Structure formats: structure tokens, C-alpha cells
Amino acid sequence: MKVYLNEKEPFTVEEVGLLIKNAPNKLHQRLYLILFLTGCRFGEIANLEWGDLDFENKIIQIKNKTNHHTKTRKSRNIPIHPLLYELFNSMDHESNYIFYSPRNPNKPIKNIRTEFNKLKNKLNIDKNKSIHSFRHALATEMGKLVSLKIVGDMLGHADIRTTTRYQHVDTEAMMDALAKMDTKLLKEAIKD
């Protein structure tokens, strides 16, 4: 069993896969994938417009808008993952919004929590995990590969201390890291 040192648990990669695979419809499947591969907040994705995508440079521009501001009120650019590049290119452009309200294509999608919670329950995923857990999952997975600074920039954190709350290191990973350390010199020092 994995024990996380931060109080809020991220989704595991396996759980993200299960949520995407078992999503109630294509809309949810796409949203879950984008939430995980961008690390964006739900409101940032809900208010994403086609004009915010720079396909040539493979960049998503997360920016302040009249109807929505980023949490830090700062814009940022994040790379488009190859899976998302394919996904975006396969989607219809029926609205300015990538994810628009089913009732009004001129407005962004509002809430997916009800269907999301039903799916989470059906899959027996911890009820304390939320849509925001996709963001924590990306930070945790990226943290295994790149510096905390890069993870923080991706998430749009102004302060690196905030990012540390998003990176979840389980005790198994710590044990593996300790086991990989070269302790030959220490062992020799103890012998004396």
C-alpha cells in the first residue's frame, strides 16, 4: 500500500486510465485526458477557446479573459502533448469554446462533477479524490522526471512552495530512491 505524505492524494496513472476508458461519453473522456496532460484547473480548461491553441508552436495559452481569470491572474503557455495535438485536430470547431455548454454553444461548459462522481464511485476510486486530483497526478508524475521549477511553471504557480503541495511522493518511491543511493563510503566509514 502506498502512503502519501501530502494529505490530498493524486490519481494514480492507472486510475486516470480507468476514468478515461470508462468515461460516460466522449466529452468526459476528452476532458479527463486534457485535465491530466495539461495539469490545468477545470475552469481554465472549461474556458479554453480554439484561439488559445497555437498549433504551429504546439502551445496552449492559458490566459485571463473577461469571464474567467487564472487563479494567479497571470497568463502562461504550456506545451501541447502529442496525444492532445491529435485530439484537438480531430475535434469539430462548433463553438469558440473547445468545451461548450450543451444548452448554449456560446458559453463554456460549467460542471461535470455529478457524472464524474458517479463514475468514480462505480470504479471504486477514493471519494476524496476530485477533478482537481488530475492536476495533482500530473505534478506527481512530472516530478519523477523533471525539476520542481518546471512542474511549477506548468501548473502556473507563482511560488515554488505551492508546487511542493502538489507533488506527492509515496513511501515506496522514497524507499526505492534510498535503495539506489551509493552508500559504499558510508559503510566503510561505519566499519572504523
Percent of the chain with pLDDT strictly greater than 90: 30
Segment 142-147 mean pLDDT: 71
Q: Which pLDDT band holds residue 5 (cuts at 50, 70, 90)?
A: very low
* 15 SS3 class: helix
pLDDT at 51: 94
Residue extents of the structural domains in the chain:
13-191
pLDDT: is 155 or 24 the higher one?
Answer: 24
Torsion of CA 177, 180, 184, 190, to 10 degrees: 30
β-pairing verdict for 76-79 and 59-62: antiparallel
Cα 6 to Cα 176: distance, rounded to the nearest angstrom: 18
CA-CA distances (angstroms) from residue 23 to 6, 28, 109, 110, 113?
A: 27, 6, 17, 17, 12
Q: What is the pTM of this model?
A: 0.75
β-pairing verdict for 76-79 and 53-54: unpaired
CATH of domain 13-191: 1.10.443.10
pLDDT at 120 over 90: yes
pLDDT in tens, 25-83: 999 999 999 998 888 889 899 889 999 999 999 988 887 676 766 666 577 888 888 99
